[in-house]
């Protein structure tokens, strides 16, 4: 019987060890199930939205076509955009748990519509939703500590450690198989739930392999830390308390303090504040001469400067013009907001090079496309689509062309892939 097989038999007989692995397995299954349910809910919402969107447009087109008013068509028609979860999002929900996966937009000012769901930066915050990433980052280290904290101290307390250390081949013949059995058990308890979720979600092989490598590396870090403390420690209780304190600092305290430091170093106006500023700029247009609004609009849209001037108390081209001017008035602030989010993300990535807990979480969210960069990419797609909408409606509105039933069919349709502005 090989040393590994012998240690495996001994570990199987250790009820507390088997119970710990079984509990970790159940927690992993629970995290994967929670993630799968959430991503399925998002997929279902997107699927249900499609026929509802078509029905909504059909009702509006039947009404608008009677008058042919292009302003009514542009004002009342909502256009759906969506950000479907990736095939790995079940493992690390990240921004997918707090940012909307569906956003219906009109050809009006975009900023007020875009920031109805604000972006936050939760990577280095306190633990969030229960998913596989939560189990791996915050729960798995406790099981590593549980199985390895007394590996040496138990032998010391039994009076055998001195003899074992004096044996030239002690590490190879005793400690290495014992450590390998425990690490293999931990890896299996985490890998099996993830592989099951990846199979159900259709995760590509390279992503699956990357996450498995991340799991192994993360377990290796906590194992080395536990073995280092155990080798130099004294009692099993002392080792456990030391490792628990290290877990508290590395998993909770340090990331939370870093989160505060990053937010302080990179202050941001919230999206809701940008939305308010945009709305104020839009509402201001009702109180200033129409020529001031139109002149500002023509500076960025000179192609419409030759159209007939607005002389009536209300005209759709003036209305849509001041919405666009409202967007342009906060464009610099919106860009600063975006740049600030990216800067916070970059600082969090640097922090991940120091704190393995943060680094592993960021890596999972990047692979799952649930990080702030992925959410900003969705916003970019919405911005590009919104520009296509405006470009489509403006010829009807500024040239006062009638908008009929067939014109609704010509309207741009959103696709989740990257769109050029």
Residue-level pLDDT at 137: 96
Q: pLDDT tens digit string along 93-148? A: 987 666 788 999 999 999 888 876 544 444 434 445 789 999 999 999 999 999 98
| Domain coordinates in residue numbering, the chain | 30-130+266-410, 142-259
Q: What whole-number distance in Å separates Cα of residue 276 and Cα of residue 90?
A: 34
3-state helix, strand, coil in the chain (%, to 5): 75, 0, 25
Q: pLDDT tens digit string along 383-419? A: 999 999 999 999 999 999 999 999 999 999 998 865 5
Q: What whole-number distance in Å separates Cα of residue 248 and Cα of residue 250?
A: 6
Q: What whole-number distance in Å separates Cα of residue 189 and Cα of residue 174?
A: 23
Q: What whole-number distance in Å separates Cα of residue 331 and Cα of residue 361?
A: 32
User: Which pair of tokens denotes residue 53?
Assistant: 């969107």
The chain-wide mean pLDDT, for the chain, equals: 87
């Amino acid at each position: 019987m090989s040393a590994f097989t012998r240690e495996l038999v001994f570990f199987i007989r250790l009820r507390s060890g088997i119970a710990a692995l079984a509990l970790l397995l159940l927690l992993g299954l629970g995290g994967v199930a929670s993630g799968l349910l959430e991503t399925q809910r998002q997929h279902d919402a997107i699927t249900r939205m499609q026929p509802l969107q078509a029905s909504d447009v059909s009702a509006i087109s039947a009404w608008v076509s009677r008058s042919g008013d292009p302003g009514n068509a542009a004002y009342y028609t909502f256009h759906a955009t969506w950000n479907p979860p990736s095939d790995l999002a079940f493992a690390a929900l990240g921004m997918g748990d707090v940012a909307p996966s569906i956003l219906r937009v009109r050809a009006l000012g975009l900023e007020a519509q875009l920031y109805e769901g604000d972006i936050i930066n939760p990577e280095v915050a306190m633990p969030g939703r229960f998913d596989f990433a939560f189990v791996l980052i915050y729960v798995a280290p406790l099981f590593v500590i549980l199985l390895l904290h007394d590996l040496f101290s138990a032998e010391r307390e039994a009076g055998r450690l001195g003899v074992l250390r004096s044996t030239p081949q002690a590490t190879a013949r005793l400690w290495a198989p014992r450590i390998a059995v425990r690490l293999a058990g931990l890896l299996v308890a985490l890998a099996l739930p993830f592989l099951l979720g990846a199979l159900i979600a259709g995760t590509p092989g390279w992503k699956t392999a990357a996450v498995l490598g991340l799991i192994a590396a993360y377990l290796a870090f906590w194992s080395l830390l536990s073995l280092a403390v155990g080798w130099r420690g004294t009692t099993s209780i002392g080792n456990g308390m030391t490792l628990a304190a290290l877990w508290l600092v590395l998993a909770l305290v340090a990331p939370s303090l870093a989160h505060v430091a990053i937010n302080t170093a990179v202050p941001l106006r919230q999206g809701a504040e940008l939305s308010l500023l945009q709305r104020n700029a839009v509402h201001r247009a009702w109180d200033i001469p129409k020529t001031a609004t139109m002149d500002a609009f023509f500076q960025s849209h000179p192609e419409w400067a030759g159209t007939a001037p607005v002389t009536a108390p209300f005209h759709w081209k003036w209305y849509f013009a001041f919405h666009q001017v409202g967007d342009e008035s906060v464009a610099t602030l919106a860009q600063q907001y975006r740049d600030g989010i990216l800067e916070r993300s970059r600082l969090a990535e640097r922090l991940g090079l120091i704190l393995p807990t943060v680094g592993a979480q960021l890596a999972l969210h990047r692979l799952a496309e649930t990080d702030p960069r992925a959410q900003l990419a969705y916003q970019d797609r919405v911005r590009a689509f919104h520009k296509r909408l405006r470009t489509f409606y403006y010829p009807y509105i500024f040239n006062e062309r009638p908008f009929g039933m067939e014109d609704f069919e010509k309207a741009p349709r959103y696709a989740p892939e990257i769109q050029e502005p």
